[in-house]
A = this chain, B = another copy of it.
Amino acid sequence: MAEGERPLRADAERNRRALLDAAEAAFSERGLDVGVAEIAQRAGVGRGTVFRRFPSKEHLIAAIVVDRMADATARGRALLDAPDAGEGLFAFLSDMVARRQSDRALFDAIADTFLSNTEIRAAQAELVEVLDALVSRAQDSGAVRADVGALDVLMLIKGLCEAIGPFQAIDPNIGERHLDLMRAALSSAAGAQPLRGRTPTVEDFDRAFPARGASQPDKAGA
């Protein structure tokens, strides 16, 4: 939506990149509660510049998270061509868990409150679209039970990532172990006894995480 934006001045663009890089490095090393002062210093800019380039610390985090989600979405899209539809879906899930290991802090950001961020929501919508295609394809091939939806699966991934938590650092195999459990839950064999309730919709999601506004460029298009 925010496509028509005049490019930043050269130094501003350079600062933006430096801040993103510094923030990403700092967050990966020490978690999301590193101060903006340190990030600014690592980026070689003044403290005020952080808030000139990003409306808030949360938006700075969101910008990085959005990048990460776009990566995952691209990976999922590529897997739509996998010869075995079921394996395509599970390769995607496995990939998500692996990504989490490399930067836990960023994944933590997706939990709860950050989902209300407009930009993150847009990125997530694309990811859900691809996930939906992967799931449908796996269901058509008979590998996955018919009564789950893409948002069920997304919730399972989120749960898995949260569940293994710091454990992943102790036992690198814990991820694949719980992926096996997830596989069992999703298998068409397990579909013999159907799930209660109904699969969540994106509308449900919108109600659960009411948007909180982001960097809307003022009012109307310039």
A161 to B111, CA, bound (A): 12
Which of A156-193 touch B at CB < 8 Å? 156, 158-167, 169-171, 173-174, 176-178, 180-182, 184-187, 189-190, 193
A165 to B110, CA, bound (A): 12
Binds B, one of A37-45, A51-59, A196-204: A196-204
Q: Show 22 A/B contacts (Cβ-Cβ < 8 Å), sorted by A.
A: A112-B166, A148-B181, A152-B177, A152-B178, A152-B181, A155-B163, A155-B167, A156-B181, A166-B208, A167-B204, A171-B197, A173-B196, A174-B200, A176-B197, A177-B195, A180-B195, A181-B185, A181-B186, A184-B184, A184-B187, A184-B190, A187-B190
A161 to B163, CA, bound (A): 9
- Which DSSP category, helix, strand, loop or mixed, fits chain A's interface? helix
Pairwise interchain contact A170-B111, C-beta atoms closer than 8 A: no
Complex copy number for this chain: 2
**Which residues from B are CB-within-8-Å of A176?**
196-197
1/0 per residue, CB under 8 A from B, across A23-42: the answer is 00000000000000000000
Contact of A207 among B111, B156, B170 (CB under 8 A): B170
Pairwise interchain contact A182-B185, C-beta atoms closer than 8 A: yes
1/0 per residue, CB under 8 A from B, across A92-113: the answer is 0000000000000000100110
Tell me the smallest distance from the CB of A159 to a CB of chain B, in Å.
3
